[in-house]
Amino acid sequence: MRPEFLSKGEEARLFPVLSTTSKEGRTTSIVLACLAFVDEFSRALLQTVGQRTGKRSKIECYTEVVFKGQKNGKTDRPDGLIVLSTGSRVWKALVEAKVRNAEIDAAQVEKYRAVAREFDVDCVITISNQFATRPDHHPIEAVRKQRSKVPVFHWSWMKILTECDLLINNDVVEDSEQLLLMKELRRFLTHESAGIKGFERMPPEWTAINKLISNGGKLPARSPEAEVVIDAWHQETKDLSLILSRQTETTVKERLSRKHRTNPAERRKDELSLLREDCQLRAELEIDNAAAPVRITADLARRSIDVGMSLRAPEDRKTAKARLNWLLRQIKGDFTDDLHVRLNWPGRSEATQFPYVDLIEDPSIVEAGKHGLTVYSFDIFLSKRLGGRFIQQTNFISEVEALVPDFYRKVGQNLTAWQMKPPKIREEKKEAEDVSVEAIAEAQQATSD
C-alpha cells in the first residue's frame, strides 16, 4: 500500500511491468525490491549511508514517486524511495539511478535535494556506473561542492553487485528464500541487459597528459586535465578494490590517511601535487588478513605500473642474508625479471634493489657494501613497462586490472608478516617462588660474590 504522503508511486517489484526500453527503471525496481526483502542485503548497503537495521526494522521501497502537494511532480520524479522504520523513527531516502553510460546530472540532484527538504526526506542516494571512494564522496564534483543540509550519497552498480556476491559466497544470508533472491539478483546484474559495467577507460585527457610528460613538459600548477585524470584514477582504484573483493571473497578497500578520508579536496590536492612533481599516480588497497596493503604506482615518466607490498624484516635473524632467506621462502613460483626486491637499510645507507631471480641464485649478493648493517624492511613488487599501451585509455585500465590480481595471487597471498615471538618462562624461573623477593636477593648476592 502506498504511504499517505505519496500521491504517486508503486512498490518496488521483483518483476516490474515496464517498457522494454526502460532498463533504468527495471534495474532500479528489482534492486530496491531485493533491498526490501533481504535482511542482510539491506543491512550491508544501508550501513554505508549510516543507517542500522535490526529485527524491529521495516524497509519499504517505491519507484517513480511523487509527494502530495509536490510542484513539478511530472518532471521532478525520483526513480525510487527507501523508507526505513525502526519503532517510531522513520528515515527516508530518494533514489536517482542511471545505467550504462548515463551519468548523474548535478542539476537534477539539486532538484531532488529541494524535494527532500520540502517533504522531510533525510538524503538522496544516486546509483550509476560511476565509482566513488566512499558513499559520502560523490563522483560528481558539482554535487560535492553544493552546500546543503540534505546529504547526497552514491552507490555504484558494481558496489551493489559486489555486496550481493559477498553475501552469497560467505554464506551470510540465512533464509533460503532470501538467498534464492540474492542469487537471482546476482544473475540479473551480471547480464548485459542490466546495463551494469566496471570502469573501462581513462578519459581523453589521460593521453594528452602522457604526451606532455613524455615530451619533457610539466603540468601547470592548475590543470583541469590533471583533475579529470585524478578523478578517473579514483574511479579505477575503487573498481579495482571491488574486483579484488569478488576474487578474494572478502572486503577490500582503499587505504587512505585520516586527512584524505575526511577531506576529498585535500586528497585531490595532494595527488595533483604528486602527479605534477613526480609524474605518478598511487593507491593502496587493504585486503583482510593480508600481510600488508597492496601498493600500486602508475609512473607516467617511465610508462610503467608497479604493484607491491612492504614487509618488516624478521628481527630474530641476525644477518641480512638470513633475513632475506626468510622472505624468499615465502615467495613461490617462477618469475621473470619483472619481480624485484628492494632492501631498506638503517641510517643514511641507501636502499638496494635486486631482481628476484638474481637473489634466488645467490642471496649473499645483498650484503655487498653493507658490512655490519642489517636490513630492516623489504619492498617486493612487480614492475611492468607498458610502452605505448600505457597511454592508451582502455589498455592502461586492462593492464592495471590484470597486473594487480596477478601479483596478489602469485606473491601477496603467500606472504606472512613477521611478529616477535612471545617471551618464554626460563626453566630456572618456572615456579612463583623462584622470582620472590628472597630469590631475587639471593641471586643478586651470588652474582656479587
- As a whole-number percent, the residues of the chain with pLDDT over 70 amount to 98
> Which of 189 and 73 is assigned the larger pLDDT?
189
Q: Is the pLDDT of residue 19 over 70?
A: no
Contact indicator for 153, 136 with CB cutoff of 8 Å: yes
pLDDT for the residue 106: 94
pLDDT for the residue 99: 92
The 10 Å CB-count burial string (b at 16+, else e) for 274-291 is ebbeebbbbbbbebeebb
| CA dist 10 → 3, 29, 32, 356 (Å) | 10, 10, 12, 61
pLDDT digits (tens, 9 = 90+) for 212-265: 999 999 999 889 999 999 999 999 999 999 999 999 999 999 999 999 988 888
Q: Is the pLDDT of residue 276 over 70?
A: yes
The per-residue pLDDT of the chain, averaged, comes to 92
Query: How far apart are the C-alpha atoms of 82 and 104, rounded to whole Å?
Result: 19
- As a whole-number percent, the residues of the chain with pLDDT over 90 amount to 78
pLDDT digits (tens, 9 = 90+) for 151-169: 999 999 999 999 999 999 9
Query: How far apart are the C-alpha atoms of 293 and 12, rounded to whole Å?
Result: 40
Q: Is the pLDDT of residue 372 over 90?
A: no
pLDDT for the residue 426: 84
C-alpha cell belonging to residue 12: 518496488
Query: How far apart are the C-alpha atoms of 96 and 71, rounded to whole Å?
Result: 18
pLDDT for the residue 336: 76
All structural domains of the chain with their residue ranges: 6-194, 207-414
